[in-house]
Amino acid sequence: MTTWRFDEGYAYPAGFQCAGCFRRNIDTPAMIAAGLDAGLINNSTGDPQSLESTGWGSADVLQAFRVPAGFALRFAGVRITTVEGGTLTMDIGNASATQTHRLAAGADDYVGTINGNNTAGSGGIYPTLIDDADLGGSTYEAVVFITNGTIDITFNNAADAVIFDVWACGYRLW
């Protein structure tokens, strides 16, 4: 298992009245081909690293977005544009028990059981409002980041062909 992040800092998405969406296209074959130019950092070493030809490993975590303290996450989603072609499920959540007001980690708290082999039916779209149970007892509005944190994608199976768009929308509290 490797934890990856993009070579970028913590930031708010630009939007209207402090609201906006983080957006990113995860093109696994292009990232493999780009090597070090893909902009991935291995969190274990803090160094740039290429995604291997086998792509994401089972249980790999991609910190898709680095959000600063004061961000309130309202909803997140994924749109599969190219299927993996094997067995792939993914989850969106966070791995830290200290970065949100919930003071709990939950790899699938934001979007769970994303089928990386399905573009049929729903168009491969998995949007979701954050479940009340995952918001915590103090708020039903959003998940509030109390420290700088990340919104993570966990790959539950290996993947080298999947292409998808991911987004996370919310607003700035402070």
Task: Specify the fold of 20-30+61-172.
Answer: Jelly Rolls (2.60.120)
How many Cα atoms occupy the beta-carbon half-sphere of 147 within 13 Å?
A: 8
Task: Give the predicted TM-score (pTM) of the model.
Answer: 0.90
Confidence of residue 128 (pLDDT cuts 50, 70, 90): low
Query: Alpha-carbon distance 48 to 12, whole Å?
Result: 23
pLDDT at residue 121 in the model? 46
Q: Is the CB of residue 107 less than 8 Å from the CB of residue 91?
A: yes
Q: Which one is predicted more confidently, 32 or 107?
A: 32
Domain positions in the chain are 20-30+61-172
Cβ neighbours for 83, distance < 8 A, ≥ 6 positions apart:
116, 117, 118, 119, 124, 161, 162
Give just the sign of the alpha carbon dihedral 96, 97, 98, 101.
Answer: positive
pLDDT (tens digit, 9 = 90+) per residue, 91-109?
999 888 899 887 888 888 8
Q: What is the DSSP string of 22-52?
A: EEEEEEHHHHHHHGGGG-EEETTTTEE-PPP
Look at residue 143 and tell me whether its pLDDT is greater than 50: yes
